[in-house]
Structure 1
Amino acid sequence: MKLRLATLLGDYPGARAVRNGTVKSPLFELDICDAKVSNRVFPRVVNSREFAVAEIALVTFFQARAAGRPLVLVPAVIGAGRHQHQCLVYNAERSGPITPETLAGKRVGIRSVGQTTVTWVRGILQNDHGVDLNAVRWVTFENAHLDGFADPPGLERAQGDKPLLDRLYDGELDAAIIGTGLPDDPRLKPVISNPLQAAREWTLRNGAVSINHMVALDADLARERPDVVREVWRLLCEGKRIAAEPRVEGFDLTPFGLEANRASLALLLTYAEQQGLLARPLTVDELFDDTTRALEMAPHTDNTETTV
Structure 2
Amino acid sequence: MITLTAAIGRYPHTAALLDGAVTDPEVALDCAPFPNITRAFAPMVREGRFEVSEMAIATWLQAWAYGKPLVPLPCVLAARLQEGSLLCRADSPIRGPADLAGRRIGVRSYSQTTGLWLRGILQDSFGVAPESVHWVTFEDPHVAECQDPGFATRAPAGRDMLAMLEAGELDAIIAGADAPPADWLRPVFPDAAAAGQEFIRCHGFTPINHLLVIRADRAAHAQAVLRLLDAAGQAPQRGRLGMMPALAFAASHAVRQGLIPRAPTAGEIWAGLPPDIS
Question: TM-score normalized by structure 1?
Answer: 0.86
1:49-68 superposed matches below 5 A? 49-68=48-67
Alignment match of 1:209 (pick from 203, 206, 209): 206
1:74 equivalent to 2:67? Answer no
Shift of 1:163: 1.4
Q: CA RMSD in A?
A: 1.6
Shift of 1:292: 5.1
2:71 touches 2:273 (CA, 8 Å); kept in 1? no
1:73 touches 1:292 (CA, 8 Å); kept in 2? no
2:133 alignment partner AA: V
The answer for the alignment partner of 1:249 in structure 2 is none
1:164 alignment partner AA: M
Alignment match of 2:142 (pick from 130, 140, 145): 145
The answer for the alignment partner of 1:184 in structure 2 is 181
The answer for the alignment partner of 1:266 in structure 2 is 248
1:12 equivalent to 2:3? Answer no
1:247-262 superposed matches below 5 A? 254-262=236-244
2:6 touches 2:31 (CA, 8 Å); kept in 1? yes
Q: For residues 70 and 62 of structure 2, what CA distance do their matches in structure 1 show?
A: 11
2:120 alignment partner AA: G
Shift of 1:98: 3.6
Q: For residues 126 and 294 of structure 1, what CA distance do their matches in structure 2 show?
A: 38
The answer for the alignment partner of 2:165 in structure 1 is 168
* Structure 2 gap ranges (5+): none
2:105 touches 2:173 (CA, 8 Å); kept in 1? yes
1:75 touches 1:292 (CA, 8 Å); kept in 2? no
Q: For residues 208 and 269 of structure 1, what CA distance do their matches in structure 2 show?
A: 15
1:83 alignment partner AA: L
1:93-242 superposed matches below 5 A? 93=91, 95-222=92-219, 225=220, 228-241=221-234
Structure 2 counterpart SS, 1:291:
coil
Q: Deviations over 1:44-80 (max 9, x none)?
A: 111112211100011100110111110100011113x
Q: For residues 156 and 281 of structure 1, what CA distance do their matches in structure 2 show?
A: 24
2:115 touches 2:174 (CA, 8 Å); kept in 1? yes
Task: Label 1:189 to 1:272 Cα distance change in 2 as closer, same or farther (>3 A).
Answer: same
1:90 touches 1:96 (CA, 8 Å); kept in 2? no
Q: Deviations over 1:226-279 (max 9, x none)?
A: xx21110111112223xxx8xxxxxxxx21111121111111111111101114
Task: Label 1:73 to 1:293 Cα distance change in 2 as closer, same or farther (>3 A).
Answer: farther
Task: Label 1:78 to 1:89 Cα distance change in 2 as closer, same or farther (>3 A).
Answer: same
Q: Deviations over 1:20-55 (max 9, x none)?
A: 111111222211111221111211111112211100
1:284 alignment partner AA: A
Q: Percent identity?
A: 35
Task: Label 1:156 to 1:20 Cα distance change in 2 as closer, same or farther (>3 A).
Answer: same
Q: For residues 263 and 12 of structure 1, what CA distance do their matches in structure 2 show?
A: 24
Q: For residues 177 and 266 of structure 2, what CA distance do their matches in structure 1 show?
A: 26
Shift of 1:171: 1.5
Larger-gyration structure (1/2): 1
* Structure 1 gap ranges (5+): 246-253, 297-308
Shift of 1:212: 0.3
Structure 1 counterpart SS, 2:14:
helix
Q: For residues 39 and 175 of structure 1, what CA distance do their matches in structure 2 show?
A: 22
Q: For residues 137 and 290 of structure 1, what CA distance do their matches in structure 2 show?
A: 38
Task: Label 1:131 to 1:67 Cα distance change in 2 as closer, same or farther (>3 A).
Answer: same
Aligned residues: 278
Q: For residues 5 and 58 of structure 2, what CA distance do their matches in structure 1 show?
A: 22
2:85 touches 2:175 (CA, 8 Å); kept in 1? yes
Q: For residues 267 and 182 of structure 2, what CA distance do their matches in structure 1 show?
A: 41
Out of 178-187 and 12-21, give the one that drifted further: 178-187
1:38 alignment partner AA: I
Out of 152-161 and 140-149, give the one that drifted further: 152-161
Q: For residues 127 and 152 of structure 1, what CA distance do their matches in structure 2 show?
A: 20
Shift of 1:152: 1.0
